Every structure is written in structure tokens, then in C-alpha cells.
A and B are shown apart, each in its own frame.
Chain A
């Protein structure tokens, strides 16, 4: 019983998501019906300011983006740990505060290291 009540609370989110999807889909379908269709090869070439496209569209990119992605995971996990702590902080008291300070300081060491190694430096 408890589980169904819980699921029922989240049901409206799903309903809204389905409705949004349905509205988007119906707009695309209307577009298919009403829209013109006169394709020719030049029209379907990818856009590069009117010139014929040159080279591969998906070329190698800077490794910095990977570094940012990894740092994001680290800090997002930190945020995930902070949420339950923040919500129940009122009942936990001073010890929980000290524990969280230790946790944040540990992460700050990694953060400072990343900063010194230039992970946030884009030129």
C-alpha cells in the first residue's frame, strides 16, 4: 500500500511528461502534413555558410572537455552527498557539521590540485 501511494505521488510528473511529448509530436506531424517538400541535393548538404562543406564534421577536440566532465562527476557526487545532510542537518548537530567540513576540505585539496595543474585554464 505504501509503495502505491508513493508511486501515485510521482504519477503527475509522468503524465505531464507524456503530455509535453504528445504536444511536441503532434506539432511535428502537423509540420509533416502542412510543410512543403521539395528536396534537392544541395538543400540537404550540411550548412557551412553556403560553401561546399570540407573535411570531416566531427573532428578531434581538446582533452580539456574530458577533464571538465570528470571534475563534474566529482562535484556532482559531492552535491548528492550534501543534499541529505542539508535536509536533516537540524537533527544532526555539531558533529555532522564537523564531518561535512572534513569532507569538503578533502575535496578542496583535489580542487586546488586541479586548479594548479591548469584544469580551469582555457586559452
Chain B
């Protein structure tokens, strides 16, 4: 009995930790949707959701309940297996990246040496969900949306991958906790100042990777209705929605970790070691929403041009200059 307990205990603790992390993240994702509607509402001189619960605070829960009771319509002529699988690929790939992010000094679910590589790999995988749903839906809008999304995501994937090389050069590690420690030890305390070009490229690519305004061409509702998930209904649509917001939270968390000094802050808050991490995370999420309320949508040729003609050369130049400076110092 004791032997089994000894083996099972660490595993059980791990599962509980993962579950807690996931539930906290889900809560954040749910209330990001609420914050988005509320903030954009106020930016456009509206009130935003204010009916369900005090100040509309129960709105996300009502939304989930509504989606859970909707009819699950599967159109004729779909590739059944792929159609069912696609939202899961998007969601799992989008949310699993959370495992490697160090929330504070002593807690990262998986403190692996190739943390950044895991994140980039998973964010590449999430584009499979988009492509497969676009293909499997047997619909023109979904097909065009999926096609556009795949080209967009792979283009910005390259820019994003290259923008992080500068961080690796400065920190000499791909382990996210090590990167934060190296930042705290560096003269500027955050890499957003010496790696300003990398930060800029990363943030733009992150918005494009998560298919958000102003790069939401795959789901441009005025031309493609909803893009690749137009044929999904009920909670299957909800899973895509969830995946998009998970993507936002994860990308913001990566930016906080790699460029803004992670959990470190100007002074210690006793008892809440992850205080500064959350402050920075919320600031970046607000930035996402702010961008959405401010900017009009890009045209497709402008979007591809921006990625290939500006961001990729810029990040390559950034790598060369960072290397040169590191060689010098």
C-alpha cells in the first residue's frame, strides 16, 4: 500500500497542479472575453454587457451555458473525422503551452530546457486545426478562410520564431525560467529595451498568429462570414472561440516572460509572488483589445507584404546586431 502511494503521490500532485493551472487559465480566458466586450463597449461609448449579474459579470458563464444547450449541426458532405477533430487540435495546441510558462520563480508546471521550442512547436500545431476545419467543412467560406489562415499563420510563424532568437542570444538559454533570471541580472532588467525590435516583431506576429484584428482576415466577417469555423455550431464553435482566447493569453504570457521580465517587479508584494506577472499579462491583454478597438483590418496583400518584406528582414537584422553586440561586450 505504502509503495503504491509513494509512486502515485507525485503523479497525483502533478495532475492536481495541472488541473488548478488549467482552471485558473480557463477563468482568465472567460473573463478576457468579458473584458474585451466591456472595454470595447466603453471605447465606443456603449455600456457593453450589463444584464447578467452585477455589471454583467456573469456574462461569460451565461455564454457557455447558452452554447452548451445549442443544437450541434453537422452539415452534409463534411469529412466527419476531421470535422470533429479540428476544434480539439486547435484547443489542445493552444492551451498546452501554458505548461512551460513560469508563473513565478518556484512554479512552472514543466520546467523544461527547451521551453521556447515547445511553445513554438505547439503554436505551429494549432494552425492544423484551422486548416483541417477549413478543408473538412465542405463550404466555400470555410475553405477560403482556412486557406488564408494557413498562409498567414506560417508567414508570421517565421517572423515570430526569428524574433525570439535575439532573446535566446542574450539569455543563452531556451528555458523560460532561465530567461527571466538572465533578464533580472541584465542592466535594463527587461529585454524589451535592448530587444525593442524583437519585442515589436513578436507582438505584431502574436496578433497575426492568433488571427486578431487588424490581421483577422481568415475570419473577416464582412467578406467570409466567420471564415474557417462558419459551419460549426454549439459548443464545437465554442471550442474554437476558446482556442483563440487561449492563444491570446499564452502569447501574452510568452511576451511577458521573454521581454518584460516575467515575475520580477520593482518591489516585492508579500504573499502574492505572481502579482507582477499578472499585472504585465493584463496590460498586454488590454493592449490586444485596445488594438482591436482602434485599427481597421489590413488588406491581404498588405498583410503578406508586412510579414515577408518587413518583419522577417527586420528580425534577421536584429539577430545579427544582437550577436555583434554580444561579441563586443
Contacts and interface: CB of A to CB of B under 8 A. Distances in A.
A13 B139 contact: no
B216 interface: no
A57 B316 CA distance: 39
Interface stretch (B40-48, B74-82, B203-211): B74-82
In the complex, the 6 A-B pairs of residues with the closest C-beta atoms, listed nearest first = A122-B301, A86-B168, A12-B110, A31-B235, A79-B161, A72-B154
Contacts, number: 205
B138 A15 contact: no
Interface of B: 14-15, 17-19, 21-22, 26, 67-77, 87-88, 91-92, 95-96, 98-100, 109-112, 116-118, 135, 137-143, 147, 150-151, 154-155, 157-158, 161-162, 165-166, 168-169, 172-174, 225, 230-231, 234-236, 238-239, 242, 300-301, 304-305, 308-309, 312-313, 316, 319-320, 323-324, 326-327
A72 B157 contact: yes
B109 A90 contact: no
B135 A58 contact: yes
Contacts of B141: 47-48
B14 A12 contact: yes
Q: How large is the interface on A (under 10, 10 to 19, 20 to 34, 35 or more residues)?
A: 35 or more
Nearest to A79: B161
A83 B92 contact: no
B112 A9 contact: yes
Interface of A: 9-13, 15-17, 19-21, 23-25, 27-28, 30-32, 34-39, 43-49, 53, 57-59, 61, 64-65, 68-69, 71-72, 75-76, 78-79, 82-83, 86-90, 93-94, 97, 100-101, 104, 108, 111, 115, 119-123
